[in-house]
A and B are shown apart, each in its own frame.
Chain A
Amino acid sequence: MMSLDFILATFLRLMAALQVTLSVWALSVLIGAFIGGGVAWMRLSGVKPLEWFARAYVFVFRGAPLLVQLFVVYYGLSSFPAVRASVFWPFLRDAFNCATLSCALCTAAYQSEIFRGALAGVPPGQVEAARACGMSSFLLFRRVTFPIALRQALPAYSTEVISMVKATALVSLVTLWDVMSVALKIRNDTLVTYTPLLIAGAIYFVVNYVIARIFIFIEQWLSPHLRSRSV
């Protein structure tokens, strides 16, 4: 049962499924970054209604489990005949779209808080100095605020991005064939109890490790002024 052939075959099938996991992950992180940026902007806009909306958004999408959000979108929305008749149906009938949408909405809430914290961490003195030199607000954002905020956001951002890799395992519960669900299927078909899950775990672990290394590399690359000081 526990032959090398079986391990290799399982590994190859799970690697094929990794494509689904990574697609959901990459798309949702990317879309989430745009939505999260918008939410952070609303939160800092100083316009009260926008600020309330941003607060409510973060409260709802951070406070409820992703699994609930996923089921509301996938099972909940499709239960309305009005939704099934609407123009959104071709989009929402597909499990992949629903999964990506819920993951994106959820990570957007976390990402907006990261962006907000990073923007708040930009020293006011630097912004004042830029203004004193006569920078326009766009130039100021591009040259001063954004680079500093980006550097400050990176450690928290890498944590969030990695936790999204882990969160994509939930899409196995809405009929998508990602690494998790293929591992469970192999387990059910072959009655080999642990090997498929162990191999799936190894794949997730390596993916997370690689992403973490990439972020460490980007962090070092973006902070050359700290390099000599680092121990």
Chain B
Amino acid sequence: MDWLTALGFGERGWGPALLQGAVMTLLVSGAGLAIGAALGSLVAWAKLSGVRVAGAVGEGYAALFRGLPELLVVYFVYFGSSALLTATAHLLGVEGFVGVPGFAAGALAVGVISGSYQAEVFRGAFLAVARGELEAARAVGMGRWLMFRRVIAPQVLRFAIPGLGNLWQVALKDSSLISVTGLTELMRASQLASNSTHKPFAYYVAGGALYLLLTAFSDRVFDFAERRATRGMRREAT
């Protein structure tokens, strides 16, 4: 069996498995980024709210998850969420161990890590919104929700794009750690392929190349998004 058949799409090739893994990597990282966005904006809001306790809780969460190894967080979320679900199931009268699906645990793990960093991205983006615009919105009598929807959210998203782009790359790479829980994303798929064919070099390099493709491609997407989002803004002459 030569290299081409090994990586190809034939009967004995692992190409489709790797591609499926890449799709799973995209899905789980995407879900993680979304969970992280929810957590991150909550923490940013808590820190900006001026409420001492809320700010301290947010700061504590961010500091904790930025200080722990990602792999430890993955294990902890995986074991922890299963135990929590099993305990809940017991209360509802279901016996035995209930495992959390690998996808949910993985997305949650990537999400809590990403959220601890996204908090700073969103906080910085909010502070970059010109104060005058908020005052103007209030002056024309906008309610809080309308002001958030029309003035704050569009600009915060615009300013957050570069930071979110970086964190998306981080989420893509962190998602490889979920392979330890058995979810068949790209890393795990490369591992399965190399274990059953005894060609670890070929499959890990192929897996790595697919990761590079994903990161390079998403770089382009975020560049495009940034250019599009800032198309109405005045550029500083350089």
Q: Give chain A's interface residues, CB within 8 Å of chain B.
A: 59-60, 63-69, 71-72, 75-77, 79-80, 162, 165-170, 172-173, 180, 183-184, 193-194, 197, 200-201, 204-205, 208-209
Contact = CB atoms under 8 A, between A and B. Distances in A.
A204 B174 CA distance: 18
Interface of B: 64, 67-72, 75-76, 79-80, 83, 169, 172-174, 176-177, 179-180, 187, 190-191, 194, 198-201, 204-205, 207-209, 211-212, 215-216
Nearest to B214: A63
Given A72-B201, A76-B204, A205-B64, A184 B75 contact: yes
Nearest to B180: A173
Contact of B72 (A162, A173, A201): A201
Q: Which residue of B72, B176, B191, B198 has the most chain A CB atoms within 10 A of its CB atom?
A: B72
Given A180-B72, A197-B75, A65 B83 contact: no
A68 B69 contact: no
| Residue of B80, B176, B191 ringed by the most chain A CB atoms within 10 A | B176
Contacts of A75: 194, 200-201, 204
Contact of B215 (A63, A77, A166, A183): A63
A66 B169 CA distance: 13
A168 B172 CA distance: 18
A205 B212 contact: no
B201 A68 contact: no
Contacts, number: 103
Given A59-B216, A64-B215, 15 more contacts: A60-B212, A63-B212, A63-B216, A64-B208, A64-B209, A65-B187, A67-B179, A67-B187, A68-B204, A69-B208, A71-B200, A169-B71, A194-B76, A194-B79, A204-B69
Contacts of B169: 63
A197 B205 contact: no
B71 A63 contact: no
Contacts of B216: 59, 63
Contacts of A201: 68, 72, 76
B72 A167 contact: no
For the complex, would chain B's binding face be called helix, strand, loop or mixed by DSSP majority?
Answer: helix
A91 B199 CA distance: 21
A123 to B, nearest CB: 16
Residue picked from A68, A80, A197, most chain B C-beta under 10 Å: A68
Residue of A64, A170, A183 with most partner-chain B CB within 10 A: A64
B194 to A, nearest CB: 7
25 contacts: A63-B211, A64-B173, A64-B208, A64-B209, A64-B215, A67-B176, A68-B208, A68-B211, A69-B208, A72-B200, A72-B204, A75-B200, A76-B200, A76-B201, A77-B201, A79-B198, A80-B201, A166-B68, A169-B71, A183-B72, A193-B79, A197-B75, A201-B72, A204-B68, A204-B72
B176 A68 contact: yes
B22 to A, nearest CB: 12
B106 to A, nearest CB: 14
A65 B21 CA distance: 14
A127 B172 CA distance: 40
A76 B206 CA distance: 11
A200 B187 contact: no
B194 A65 contact: no
A180 B172 CA distance: 22
**Top 3 A-B pairs, shortest CB-CB distance:** A76-B201, A169-B69, A65-B176
Nearest to B203: A76
A64 B212 contact: yes
Nearest to A173: B180
A65 B204 CA distance: 11
A214 to B, nearest CB: 15
A208 B212 CA distance: 29
A72 B72 contact: no
Contacts of A59: 212, 216
Nearest to A167: B69
Contacts of B207: 68
B71 A180 contact: yes
Contact of B211 (A64, A200, A208): A64
Name which of A59, A72, A80, A168 has the most chain B CB atoms within 10 A of its CB: A72
